[in-house]
Amino acid sequence: MAPGQNAVAGLVVVAALAAGSTLISRVPGPDEIARQPFLHSGQVGTAIHLRTGEIVVEGVQASTRVRQGATTATTSAHWLVITVRYTAADTPSTLAGMTLESRDGRSYSLARPFHTACGVGQPGVTITCSMPFEVPAAALEGARLRVPAALLGGGAGDDVANVDLGIDAAAATRLEQSTDPLRIEAVTVVGSPGTGASP
């Protein structure tokens, strides 16, 4: 092979390797695919079935001052309190690792001084939890609640509820103006949906 042909062949091989490398970097790998959550979308008031149980977001309220048990916390922003009804499926489980996602993609977590998880639900026994997220006003409109089926892994490769909280511009304004102190319970046992029993 002539020297010129060698150089062309070398360039073609290098170009093919570069193209292959670029293509591979743009294709999700097996680990990335395995970590994709199974999203279950829903709205306020609708039941969403996860691997570990069923959740229903009952509603949202807001304040700048919230009391939960013996703890009172104030914010210069807003406490968006989301009340969730939860019935564990086959084994005792807890709702933890919940995040609030705003329209611009920012995420907000539950944090001290409040409870960061919704108790431990026993199979078939419904509990409700009120969970305060500290958020700026801009995060209210269009916010969504994401609830992983289990804390471990944060929903990677697992069921995740993705709940539209139904906060439009008018609702966001109303929530933004809510400053009356709220008193909430971290966990309340409702009882068995089948029997209607309550504590």
* DSSP β-bridge partners for residue 9: none
Return d(Cα 192, Cα 125) in angstroms, integer: 5
Nearest distance, CB of residue 135 and other proteins, angstroms: 6
Are the C-beta atoms of 197 and 191 separated by less than 8 Å? yes
Written as one letter, the residue type at 190 is: V
Nearest distance, CB of residue 195 and other proteins, angstroms: 38
For residue 104, the 8-state DSSP code is T
Identity of the residue, 10 or 29, whose beta carbon is nearer to other proteins in the bound complex: 29
Identity of the residue, 46 or 74, whose beta carbon is nearer to other proteins in the bound complex: 74
Identity of the residue, 21 or 72, whose beta carbon is nearer to other proteins in the bound complex: 72
Burial of 97 (0-12, 13-18, 19+ CB in 10 A): buried
Are the C-beta atoms of 176 and 111 separated by less than 8 Å? no
Nearest distance, CB of residue 143 and other proteins, angstroms: 12
Identity of the residue, 26 or 112, whose beta carbon is nearer to other proteins in the bound complex: 112
Q: Catalog residues that contact other proteins under the rule CB under 8 A.
A: 31, 71-77, 104-109, 111-114, 116, 133-136, 138-139
Are the C-beta atoms of 143 and 102 separated by less than 8 Å? yes
CA 160 remoteness from chain centre = 7
Nearest distance, CB of residue 113 and other proteins, angstroms: 4
**Which uninterrupted H or E stretch holds 5?**
helix 3-26
Identity of the residue, 71 or 173, whose beta carbon is nearer to other proteins in the bound complex: 71
Nearest distance, CB of residue 78 and other proteins, angstroms: 9
